Structure 1
Amino acid sequence: MVSSFLLPLSFLLLFLLPLAAAAATDSAVAAATDSAAAQFNFLSLLKKSFKGPSMARWDFNRFNDLDSRANYSYCNLPGLGCDSAGDVVLIDLSSWFLAGDFPAGVCSALPALRALRLGYNEIRNGFPGDLTDCSFLEELNLTHARITGGVPDLSPLRSSLLALDLSNNYFTGEFPVAALANLSLLEYVNFNENPGFEVWKLPEAIAGFTNLKVLILSTTSMRGKIPPWIGNMTSLTDLELSGNFLVGNIPATLGRLQKLQLLELYYNKLTGEIPHELGNLTSLIDIDMSDNHLVGSIPASLCGIPGLQVLQVYTNNLTGEIPQVLGNSSALTILSIYGNKLTGELPVDLGRYSNLIVLEVSENLLSGPLPRYVCAQRQLLYILVVRNNFSGELPASYGECNSLLRFRVNDNNLSGRVPESLFGLPHASIIDLGFNSFEGIIAKSIGNSKNLTALFLPNNKISGVLPPEIGLATSLVKIDLSNNLLSGPIPAELGHLTLLNQLSLQGNKFDSSIPESLSSLKSLNVLNLSNNHLTGKIPDSLCELLPNSLDFSNNQLSGPIPFPLIKQGLIDGVAGNPLLCLPFHVNLTDPVFTLCPRRNFRRRLNNMWIVGVSAILAIFVVLLLVKRWLGKKSVLMKQDAFSSSSSFSYDITSFHKLSFEQHEIVESLIEKNIIGHGGSGTVYKIELSNGEWVAVKKLWSRKTKDPVTAKEEQQGSLDRELRTEVETLGSIRHKNIVKLYCCFSGVDSKLLVYEYMPNGNLWDALHQGKSLLEWNTRHKIALGIAQGIAYLHHDLLFPIVHRDIKSSNILLDADFEPKVADFGIAKVLQAGGNRETSTTVIAGTYGYLAPEYAYSFKATTKCDVYSFGVVLMELVTGKKPVEAEFGENRDIIHWVSSKMSTKECIDEVLDKQLAWNPLKEEMIQFLRIAIRCTYSNPSLRPTMNEVIQLLTEAHPCKPDANGPPFKLVEPRHRKG
């Protein structure tokens, strides 16, 4: 009976099962289709929300069939990844240069999303709030996304999130302490460079993060002490807490972090001693505790870590000796411990067994000999041992260290002969042996130092002659050989050093005349030949340079004192030359010079009579001609009278020897000579009667401006800019700063007369197709701009901040030598040498402005460094500071930084107009320097003197005959 019942039931099941399976299949297909449609719709919305050329990679034209999930091939789009079921699990749009709002609904549309990477884009309207609803999200990377506002509570991601990177944004408000404490699965946390957070402390709850490997909280306004319980986070491999307000001691419990490879605590206010327990960090590769208030000694246990490559503890109050065990290291590459009170000797075997790149121990109390093996591996780039008590001779091996870029041993007690080969180091940019007791000669090999920009040997016992071969070191910018025993002639070959802006040869025994060739040094700012045995006359041509500091005193010079020296009040610079005389009577109290012999005076007097009579006759003839002209053209009498009076109604202030008359300028201010108009006036290009050209800027005056717009504050601003321009340019002279010849001040207008730059400005050359600048020319332009700005910042009694460095303010002469121009808003920093000054308005140009200037109103030298970095990026990329392809509200800095972060994209930033393949490495080095110049934190930017050195050193590194190739390595912060 049961079987008779089951039999029809089994037949019924056999009939219904296929129907049920079909229904289930249909349901699954429908669900899959709905899910695919939802994902497709969100991706379409994402494409519409984010603007940028890279978004064109998402071509949806072929995704039209909504009937079958199999036709949804969006998983093949770049930047997307799907699982085996076809669900989107990865969105990676890093460095796509996009800008826009991240659309809502990502978690509901993409429920399987596990990784979201949007770094190096611009996400507007704050943090995408609904990301916290993504239940399976394991990785969230929003680095360099320019996000503003606060960070939401991320606690809902506690069960999934493994990696969180919110570094380099503009977050404000409270640091998400609670969220950080709840995300217990995290393995990677990076909040680096978010200084806008309110001050906060580390929550102890994160001590339980047993999986956390990377914790980067640098520059996040963290305060308080480093909590000892961090030592319980034993999975850490990278701990970075630098750039905060941390105080107190470094906890000894950090020594428990056996897996730690990188420890960065620099730029805080930490005190106490370095715990010897740090020597237990056997996996440590890099440690930096610089710029704190640490005391005590450097633990030997720390120096004995076998894999330690980088040890930086500069600018603290450390004492004691450097552990000798450091000399046994086979891993050490960077030792930077300057600015402490360390004593004793450097380890004898330092560098003998490791590829040492940087030795920087300046400004300590170290003594004894310099270690002979520091360049044993032929990798050393920097020897910086300035201001210590080192003694003994320089090891001969230093002269064979061809990889060296900077060699500075000045201000020690070193002695003996300088190895002659040291002067011929092929890559060195600085050789500084000053203030020691060195003997010997300057070797002829100096001519091989093609990259040398600074040669400093003051206050030694160097003897012999200055070899003519020095004229072959054509990159030299500064030479100081003062207070030595050099003798013989001053070589005429010095005139070949066209970049030279300082020549200090005082306090030697030079006994020749002053070479006429020095007059070709157009960049010269300092010329000191005092306290020698020089004879002969002072060349008149040399006086045309009139450097800021000129001193020929205490020699045996003879003949008349050149008139320019008298006119410019530089008579003190020739004191102590009893055979010099005055060509005419001048009231002087000190020094006292006699009149030149009467014979010369009478000859000059006769010449003056001849000139005077000739002038009177000429004037008489001119008056007759004018009278005849007025008789024939009486209608033009009033106009001529006005023109004549206005032509000679200007007060003139000259700053250089003038080769033109006033009327030549005024009479040429006609329409056909106009070459441009600016916000403050008109610019004219004028040919002088001698065939030379000048540029004249005619400033608008209150009378010539429209009465409606000529408001008093506008006029006041123009007057201030004119006064600033005149006072600034009139007092400085540098090859790379535009020359202001003179200023005409009249009732109805003011005229500034400059040297004319035939190749226009850099902006037009790069962006308007005016000329194709090859890389070698761009290299020269970059270095020239840097030298001009460095002169303003470092070589004047009071530093000058230009405040408007941009490519349109860089003029190019006939040889494409750059000149910094337009000093209308410059600031002179006079408050005790202070490097900043406050202003009431933002001055400068969008795209070049340093970010801190926008909110602090403080003009600093680092603001100019930032602007120079932008110009440097223009030179390498050929791009403008702001381009449409960067995305709305985005600039060249973000574009270059994001491209450089991806190796595959580096070639995309180099100017396509250039044949750059052979020079690619050098151009990339320039971009890295530009990125350093544009760091958001001003303290991390280099000075302009450092920029010059970096540019000089940024050449393609070629294999050396005595060793393997080397590459440039920059410590995070370095003096020298």
Structure 2
Amino acid sequence: MTQPSPPLLLYIFIFLISGVTSQQFSTSEQTTLLNLKQAWGDPPSLANWNSTSSPCTWTEIQCRKGSVTGMQLQSKLLLGTIPPFICDLSNLENVSLHDNLITGEFPTVFYNCSKLIELDISQNMFVGTLPDDIDRLSQLKIADFGGNNFTGDIPPAIGNLSALTQLLLYQNLFNGTVPPEIGNLSNLETLGLAYNDFAHPEIPSEFRKLNNLKIFWMPGTNLAGKIPSSLSNLVNLELLDLSLNNLEGEIPPELFLFQNLDRMFLYKNTLSGQIPAVIQSPNLTQIDISMNRLTGPIPDDFGKLQKLEVLNLYSNQLSGQIPASISQIPTLRVFKVFRNKLTGELPPEFGLHSKLESFEVSDNQLTGNLPENLCAGGSLAGVIAFSNNLTGHLPRSLESCDKVTGIQLYNNNFTGEIPSGIWTLQNISSLRLSGNSFSGELPSKVAWNLSRLEISDNKFSGRIPPEISSWSKLNVFKASNNMFTGEIPSEFTTLSELTVLYLDGNSLSGELPSEIKSWNSLTILNLARNKLSGQIPPSLASLEDLLELDLSENQFSGQIPPQLGNLRLTSLNLSSNKLTGRIPTSFDNMAYQNSFINNPNLCSTTQNSNLHNCFSKNSHTRKFSPKIIAMIIILSAFVLLATILFVLFVFRDYQKKQPKRIRTTWKLTSFHKMDFTEANILSCMTEANVIGTGGAGKVYRIEVGQPRGYVAVKRIWNNKTIDPNQENEFTSEVQILGSIRHSNIVKLLCCLSSLNSKLLVYEYLEHQSLDKWLHGKKIKPKAGLVPGFVLDWPRRLQIAIGAAQGLCYMHHDCSPPIVHRDVKSSNILLDSEFNAKIADFGLAKILEKPKPGEGGLSSIVGSMGYFAPEYAYTTRINERIDVYSFGVVLLELVTGKEANEGDGDLNLAEWAWKHYGEGDSVVGALDPEINGYMEEMSTVFKLGLICTSTLPSSRPSMKDVLEILRRCNPLDQLPEEMKQGREEFDVAPLLKRESYITSYQELDDI
């Protein structure tokens, strides 16, 4: 056998030696890494870390010369704190722990890592202040501490970290000052202080020394004063973001002299002054100086920026014309100048030289035509030009805008017919054209996804086509004050998703369809000022969600269907018709006194000043002779006198026998029509009627007779006086429930108060609270349900949607918003049809703007297992704490577990996150008592995870939660476009810790 040559032997020797060295390394540092894994909860994401393989083969570990130099452990669901032995890895240079669940104060254990140059602990749950001796991390080049809960001041010692090139402290709770010592960091290239509530901050003048700074990111930091001209010394600056602050004054002209500035974001400030006319930054790709108080014209020099892609100047006080040079920029994608004082015509070349994606010029004083070539690039997603003085016909080129989802041209002076292709654009969902002079007839076919159509105050004419039944996604239809004629076709009532319908002010005639087939979601129906006739169909009473009904100024005749009294109407107008007979009892009160005027043959049994009394001489009741009337009066007076004398004698005798008895005086305040009396309630407050007991008192079920049947009464009491906390809960409940109305919020009928007791009277909900159905050991058979009945998935989803609608109303439709603060399954009540209603507003809080000196803080309240993590140590009140609690309810619905039920010390939310992080099938976490519906339940499980994200900004709004829940229908009910991606519901995009609003106009349109 041929012997290997000497060089080959040398290579083999070196290889063997290096293998031994590697094995020695594996033995010496492997233990430290495995101990770290154990200390962080042994996450399944690190399952490849074991004693049989070299750490240098682990994907999360970087090695050099047989030793660990880096750890990339982002998004591994690590739990606990950072152990002190981490620096046993003596050659550690970079550590990334981004996006985990690590807690504790700032990890000073890293002081012992003498070679550490990169440290990323962002998006965790660290608390406390940054240490004053943070400069002991003397070798650090990259420091990312963002997305935590650090408070207080940024220590001046941070300015001693001379090697730093990146310093990121964004999205914390810093409430001190910005240290000028940061200006000493001469090597700094990125400075991120965004989204902190600094106290009376200004940009320190020392920052002018940051000559290497490329990215200056400081939005949402409470900055005040003017933009310092010293920033012009930052000659290498590429990105400047000072948005969401309180800056004022003029923009220093020197800012536009940067040679390398690629982006400028200055939106949502309170800046004033003019935009300088000299802009010498040819590399700018995005300019955003929106949401300020900028004045003067838009400089023509913007058109010289041949790389400009985004130009946002909206919500200022800019005036003058839009320079034509801007429309000729070849790279322009986004143009937003809405909410200004711009005049003149729109440059006709918009869209001709570039692929416009967004065009928003609303709320100005612009004139002339809409540019013909807006869609020439084929990328336009929206045309928003409402509230101007635009004229002419719509350009036919809009028919080719296949990517457009919304067109908003209302409140202009457009004329002519709508080009036929616009009605059927492939992706359009919103078409808002009200307040113009458009003409023509309604088409028989519209886009499959059209959900909002507003054409009021135009000159549309003709009949409503029977083919309107194919507009299946229509949600809002506003067509007031046009010239429509003919009958309302019965096919119209098949639109099951319709919630708002305005057809008032037309010339519609004939009778209403006798059967209302599918208007089950309708909340507003306005058919006023038409020529409709016949009787009001009793089938309108089947519209359980209807809140507003207006049939005034028509020719309806006959009696008002008494069934309408079962509706929960907040507004009713049947005036100026030919109705006869008595007003239904439910409407015969002061709340509806103006709802029936100009109906001469209607009568009231109460003192309604607008109608004659049903028992007056003008009514059709039997007339009695004067003698009989006199005898009745005399006899009644005699009986009344005898009764009074008898009562006085009995009462005097009673007082003598019980001289020390204290009389209780009750004060009654009603919030709805009362069909029971105070005596009905007080006489039935017995132990036999108790259905629940809490810390504040007892809850009674009391029978009050038909049609209501029962009411629920919560008694807040104390042996002597009302406890201050109970008094606050009573006040909060009355203040909020007495003023809001929603079908998914429990109805407070009235309250009674005395010296030592307070009674809250609610509508009675037969199926009581959700937790009893999910977690109760024994459920009594109700409404035909058999013993041991388990809520099926359709009912659970119905409950989730109902509760979400109630919370969405509180967060988004109430002004100011209302935060419940105690959302849990026991505070979600169910009526006989399992419709959900939010209850118990004793801890609720109205989010009014804090007064000077107030921090928007509150005492910690709520229930264990439903607490949002940040609420325990910040006590800051916002809607996101309700989102977290509702996420726990969603997890209860899909898993069947209780809020505090997990593994070991974990609650339900923590257990769900751990289960998901371990890579186990989501199906394994679902309630085993539910069969089928795995896709929908998995989606809601993951939605529950998103809602219970540890960082508040990662949680969706209740409006987004409601939208996702509504889409959890069987697949055969969804269009093909929506079916795609349902099987793989990716939560990663929704779990991003940062989100940015790119169009405030889009928020306005929701």
Whether 1:816 and 2:827 are equivalent positions in the alignment is no
- Which runs of structure 2 are paired with 1:332-347 in the superposition (5 Å)? 332-347=356-371
Judged with a 3 Å threshold, the aligned counterparts in structure 2 of structure 1 residues 947 and 194 are, in CA distance, closer, same or farther, namely same
Q: Structure 1 unaligned segments of length 5 or more: list them.
A: 1-24, 64-70, 606-611, 613-637
Residue of structure 1 equivalent to 2:327 = 303
Query: Would you say 1:241 and 2:266 are equivalent positions?
Result: yes
Q: 1:271 to 1:103 in 2, by over 3 A?
A: same
Secondary structure at 1:867's aligned position in 2? helix
Q: Pick which of 129-138 and 328-337 moved more.
A: 129-138
SS in 1 for 2:351: helix
CA distance in 2 between counterparts of 1:135 and 1:166 reads 18
Q: Secondary structure at the match of 2:365?
A: coil
Per-residue CA shift, 1:653-697, capped at 9, x if unaligned? 776677889888667655565443334322235678889874523
Aligned residue type for 1:497:
W
Which secondary structure does the structure 2 equivalent of 1:295 belong to? strand
Greater Cα offset, 404-413 or 802-811:
802-811
Where does 1:90-101 land on structure 2 (aligned, <5 Å)? 90=71, 91-101=95-105
- Which residue in the other structure is 2:224 paired with? none
The alpha-carbon distance between structure 1 residues 722 and 219, as it changes in their structure 2 partners (threshold 3 A), is closer
1:547 is aligned to 2:572: no
Q: Distance in 1 between matches of 2:261 and 2:422?
A: 41
Alignment partner of 1:466: what SS? coil
Look up the SS of the partner of 1:148 in the other structure. strand
Letter in 2 for 1:739: K
Among candidates 113, 122, 125, match of residue 109 of structure 1: 113
Q: Which amino acid aligns with 2:152?
A: G
Answering whether residue 512 of structure 2 is matched by residue 476 of structure 1, we say no
Report the counterpart of residue 82 of structure 1 in structure 2: 63
CA displacement at 1:506 relative to structure 2: 0.8
| C-alpha displacement of 1:457 | 1.3
Code of the aligned partner of 1:697: V
**How far, CA to CA, are the matches of 1:87 and 1:781 in structure 2?**
53
* Cα distance in 2, alignment partners of residues 942 and 292 from structure 1: 28
Cross-structure match for 1:172: 175
1:757 and 2:765 matched: yes
CA distance 1:803–1:528, change in 2 (3 Å): same
Residue 408 of structure 2 corresponds to residue 384 of structure 1: yes
Provide the rounded CA distance (Å) in 2 between the counterparts of 1:151 and 1:579: 77
Q: How far apart, in 2, do the equivalents of 1:191 and 1:910 lie?
A: 42
What is the match of residue 533 of structure 2? 511
1:712-760 CA-to-partner distances (Å, cap 9, x unmatched) read 64564365356436733xxx65422223455566787554443333454
1:126-137 correspondence to structure 2 within 5 Å? 126-127=129-130, 132=135, 137=140
1:906 CA displacement: 14
Hey, what does 1:620 align to over in structure 2? none
- Cα deviation for residue 461 of structure 1 reads 1.6
Determine whether 1:192 maps to 2:194.
Answer: yes
Q: CA deviation at 1:538?
A: 0.7
Q: Secondary structure at the match of 2:712?
A: strand
Give the whole-Å Cα distance in 2 for the aligned partners of 1:852 and 1:271: 42
Matches within 5 A, 1:364-763: 364-374=388-398, 376-422=400-446, 425-494=447-516, 496-545=518-567, 547-568=569-590, 570-582=592-604, 587=607, 589-592=609-612, 595=615, 601-602=621-622, 674-685=690-701, 694=710, 696-702=712-718, 705=719, 707=720, 710=721, 713-714=724-725, 716-717=727-728, 720-721=731-732, 723-724=734-735, 727-728=738-739, 733-741=741-749, 743=751, 749-761=757-769
Aligned partners of 2:282 and 2:306 also within 8 Å: no
Question: Secondary structure, in 3 states, of the residue corresponding to 1:572?
Answer: coil
Asked if the contact 1:778/1:875 (under 8 Å) is kept, the reply is no
Displacement of 1:404 in angstroms is 2.2
Question: What's the counterpart of residue 68 of structure 1?
Answer: none
Given that 1:207 and 1:233 are in contact with CA atoms closer than 8 Å, whether structure 2 keeps it comes out as: no
Which range moved further: 394-403 or 674-683?
Answer: 674-683
Cα offset, 1:206, TM superposition: 4.0
CA contact (8 A) 2:859 2:875 kept: no
Tell me by how many angstroms 1:128 deviates. 6.2
Percent identity at matched positions?
28
Q: Which moved more, 1:689-698 or 1:89-98?
A: 689-698
Alignment CA distance shift 1:800-1:157 (3 Å): closer
Task: Determine if contact 2:247/2:270 at 8 Å carries over to the other structure.
Answer: yes
Q: Report deviation, 1:182.
A: 3.1
Q: Which residue is 2:142 aligned to?
A: 139
Q: Which moved more, 1:524-533 or 1:766-775?
A: 766-775
1:660, 1:81 → 2: CA distance? 76
Alpha-carbon distance in structure 2 between the residues aligned to 1:222 and 1:765: 54
Write the deviation string for residues 811-844 of structure 1: whole angstroms up to 9, x where unpaired. Answer: 233443222323446688999xx9xx99996696
Q: Which residue, 300, 313, 317 being the options, matches 1:289?
A: 313
- Counterpart-to-counterpart distance in 1, 2:945 and 2:363: 27
> Could you say which residue in structure 1 is the equivalent of 2:84?
none
**Distance in 2, Cα, partners of 1:151 & 1:908:** 42
CA contact (8 A) 1:192 1:218 kept: no
User: Could you say what secondary structure the match of 1:167 adopts?
Assistant: coil
Q: CA deviation at 1:224?
A: 6.2
2:383 matched to which residue of 1?
359
RMSD of aligned alpha carbons? 5.7
**Paired letter, 1:278:** F
The answer on whether the counterparts of 1:39 and 1:109 sit within 8 Å (CA) in structure 2 is no
**One-letter code of the match for 2:694?**
G
Query: Which residue does 1:348 correspond to in 2?
Result: 372
Q: Distance in 2 between matches of 1:887 and 1:240?
A: 48
The structure with the greater share of residues assigned to helix is: 1
Match among 197, 208, 214 for residue 204 of structure 1: 208
CA distance in 2, matches of 1:805, 1:375: 50
| Distance of aligned partners of 1:587 and 1:289 in 2 relative to their CA distance in 1, 3 Å threshold | closer
In structure 2, what residue type is equivalent to 1:302? I
Question: Contact 1:98 / 1:887 at 8 angstroms: preserved in 2?
Answer: no
Once the 2 structures are TM-superposed, how far is the Cα of residue 110 of structure 1 from its aligned partner?
A: 5.3
Q: Could you tell me how far 1:532 is from its partner in structure 2?
A: 0.2
The TM-score normalised by the length of structure 2 is 0.72
Change (3 A) 1:121 1:497: same
Structure 2 counterpart SS, 1:266: coil
Q: Aligned equivalents of 1:160 and 1:839: distance in 2?
A: 35
Equivalent residue of 1:327, what SS? coil
Kindly indicate whether residue 292 of structure 2 is the aligned counterpart of residue 268 of structure 1: yes
> Per the alignment, in what secondary structure is the counterpart of residue 731 of structure 2?
helix
Q: Secondary structure at the match of 2:886?
A: helix
Q: Aligned partners of 1:461, 1:173: CA distance in 2, in Å?
A: 63
1:609-665 CA-to-partner distances (Å, cap 9, x unmatched) read xxx9xxxxxxxxxxxxxxxxxxxxxxxxx9xx99xx999997877766778898886
Q: Which has the higher contact order (CA 8 A, sep 6+)?
A: 1
Per the TM alignment, residue 554 of structure 1 is displaced from its structure 2 partner at its CA by 0.6
Q: How far apart are the structure 1 equivalents of 2:137 and 2:27?
A: 17
- Shift in Å at residue 947 of structure 1? 8.5
Counterpart CA distance in 2 for 1:160 and 1:649 is 73
